[in-house]
Structure 1
């Protein structure tokens, strides 16, 4: 199992200071991809290195029963374990890279990795006046092996639905959210949202949210599909 899910309470935030989210920072024409921008190399990471730095963790005893945690980002490093974990599932879904080239559309992708449940991804695209939601489900588990594609669907949506999603992502302040990975340790879920347009790329990770604006934006994408997921399974 992904041991990173059981190492204890961990919080990591990578400051926005000094970090440009311009797509120009990440464009890389040397990455080998197919006609759909799916990488041909299974070792190709789906996230730029600046998104997932390594972190050191120190447990501090406050009293006999209470501990606090001090974390420190190791500037200039890369958490390859987490990057490989996320990328392995996106490779299995045959999803395109979102950061390696400039595009003429807007895209948001929510990748949902629950420890014991099937991995899923929801990709909402706008090009000109066309709005399309793509979703995929693997038959593995988010904290174990990804498995293979079990469901692959798309749905033509309306400008109204695109605008409703954008209102939710705006309330979450997605483009100004802290970069990096936050985790509260025990078996749970990774909620990974990427956004890209003609000028910018961003990716943020929230672990096991249960409410809030970011949760609502992701949940809205789920609601636009025909997937039947109970509230207790939306962890």
Structure 2
């Protein structure tokens, strides 16, 4: 997160006037570039900030290779809110220390008023974390498949994925 120059969500929750709502998805694979997607909600809707790093997430993260700032349409905002409600990821228990040798960390954080929540998953497939992470990356306009954001159950993992 330091390499992506991402702010601390915990400190954000401690501010006198934290955002109405903020969400961040951090995708940190073993051998591919990390991706960070952050959304802030204000009176006018949602603003999305996305960053892709140049290195290998599990080793040397590199630097920011591309970034975007996008204002979500009303339809995208409605779809996001529906997905958050339907999938209820932030109602699930935080993951323990599960991980593997190769794969990807999927970290979701949210700040609502002064409440901070963090959910971590290891290489998820077909679950609320996977569905929300995929949707957030698709909002950026980056191709999901070419972003190497494909889940691979252990032991295949993302070691077999070659990315540009």
TM-score range, shorter chain: 0.7 to 0.9
Deviations 1:198-229 (A, max 9, x none): 13110000100121222111111111112123
* Aligned partners of 1:129 and 1:159 also within 8 Å: no
* Aligned partners of 1:114 and 1:142 also within 8 Å: yes
Q: Which of 225, 228, 231 lines up with 2:140 in the alignment?
A: 225
- 1:156 match: 71
* Aligned partners of 1:114 and 1:143 also within 8 Å: yes
Runs of 4+ with deviation above 6 angstroms: none
Deviations 1:162-213 (A, max 9, x none): 2211222222322321124452523000000001011311000010012122
> What number of residue pairs does the alignment pair up?
146
Q: Compute the displacement of 1:144 (Å).
A: 0.6
2:16 counterpart of 1:105: no
Larger radius of gyration: 1
Q: Which of 205, 214, 219 lines up with 2:129 in the alignment?
A: 214
- 2:158 match: none
* Aligned partners of 1:114 and 1:190 also within 8 Å: yes
- 1:234 match: 150
- 2:6 match: 95
1:35-46 aligned within 5 A: none
- 1:76 match: none
Gaps of 5+ in 1: 1-89
Q: Which of 87, 100, 107 lines up with 1:192 in the alignment?
A: 107
Q: Compute the displacement of 1:139 (Å).
A: 0.4
**SS of the counterpart of 1:112?**
strand
- 2:160 match: none
* Aligned partners of 1:124 and 1:134 also within 8 Å: yes
Partners of 1:184 and 1:150 lie apart in 2 by: 27
Q: Which of 130, 133, 146 lines up with 2:48 in the alignment?
A: 133
- 1:72 match: none
Partners of 2:126 and 2:95 lie apart in 1 by: 19
2:121 counterpart of 1:121: no
TM-score, length of structure 2 as denominator length: 0.81
Gaps of 5+ in 2: 152-164
